[in-house]
Chains A and B, each alone.
Chain A
């Protein structure tokens, strides 16, 4: 079964550093998403991406965040200057056009120290 692949599985970074979280969506999917889950809390929408541009973003997705699909296969989330409160599990997801319901990756656990 096709999978969404996320790397790395765990990243530790110092406060103020830039991080890039990487995702390889399912190859024929057209819609891409990032969600995050702070420990013990619910999964929250960050951003959706279609046709090489952001479709929708949440209040959490401020100027520190950016997304990119640089080469037609990878989908990245960049956090420019990490804060302690950015520590969370970040999930990438993709969706096709004929079978509603995302496929999520296994997540990247980001720890900001």
Chain B
């Protein structure tokens, strides 16, 4: 079984500041890792995913994440945030192989202030 811990429930930052949203996972098998974003009153949109290969993954809207197997982490970063990045961000994990269920973290609410 897999589990995901998102250490920060809320992260307030000022516009144009860098941000890191933390995610740690636990699994007894190899995993795929995902970050999803949920804007207010909307569904879940895939930001980026790690399946294999390079541990630094680039996604949409300037976000990137780094897979660290030894630390079982998959932190999300953006060098300069915009007001429009205000949203809830969910880290998720699935067992490798495809068509496996996703296990989500509790989410991090990112608020970008002017």
Q: Which residues of A contact B (CB under 8 A)?
A: 6, 30-31, 33, 35, 41-45, 48, 50, 55-56, 58, 91, 93, 95, 97, 100-107
Contact of A43 with B98 in the complex, beta carbons under 8 Å? no
For residue B113, CB closer than 8 A to chain A, the reply is no
Knowing A43-B90, A91-B43, the reply to whether A102 touches B102 (Cβ < 8 A) is: yes
Q: Per a CB cutoff under 8 Å, which of A35, A41, A43, A48 touches B99?
A: A48
The residue in chain B whose Cβ has the minimal distance to the Cβ of A56 is B101
* Contacting residue for A105 out of B43, B99, B106, B107, CB 8 A: B43
- If A100-B51, A100-B98 touch, whether A45 touches B46 (CB-CB below 8 Å) is no
A residues within 8 A CB of B104?
42-44
Could you pull out 7 A-B pairs where Cβ atoms are within 8 angstroms?
A42-B104, A42-B107, A45-B103, A97-B98, A101-B46, A104-B44, A106-B42
Q: Does A33 lie within 8 Å of B101, measured CB to CB?
A: yes
Docked pose: A104 CA to B107 CA in angstroms? 16
Judging by beta carbons under 8 Å apart, are B105 and A101 in contact? Answer: no
Q: CB < 8 Å: which of A31, A55, A91 contacts B44?
A: A91
Secondary structure at the A interface, as helix, strand, loop or mixed, is strand
A41 / chain B contacts, CB cutoff of 8 Å: 106
Closest residue of B by beta carbon distance from A103:
B46
Q: Does B32 contact A (CB under 8 A)?
A: yes
The interface centre, meaning the residue of A43, A44, A107 with most chain B CB atoms within 10 A of its CB, is: A43
CA distance A45 to B107 in the complex (A): 15
Which of B32, B42, B44 contacts A43 (CB under 8 A)? Answer: B44
Distance in Å: Cβ of A88 to nearest Cβ of chain B: 14
Q: Which residues of A contact B107 (CB under 8 A)?
A: 42
* B 87-110 contacts with A by CB, 8 A: 90, 92, 98-99, 101-107
Q: Ordered nearest first, which 9 A-B pairs have the shortest CB separation?
A: A106-B43, A104-B44, A43-B104, A31-B99, A45-B101, A42-B106, A100-B98, A101-B49, A104-B43
- CB pair B49–A100 under 8 Å, yes or no, is yes
Seed contacts A42-B90, A45-B103, A107-B42; 20 additional CB < 8 Å A-B pairs? A35-B102, A43-B102, A45-B102, A48-B99, A50-B99, A55-B99, A56-B101, A93-B44, A97-B98, A97-B99, A100-B49, A101-B34, A101-B46, A101-B49, A102-B46, A104-B43, A104-B45, A104-B46, A106-B43, A107-B43
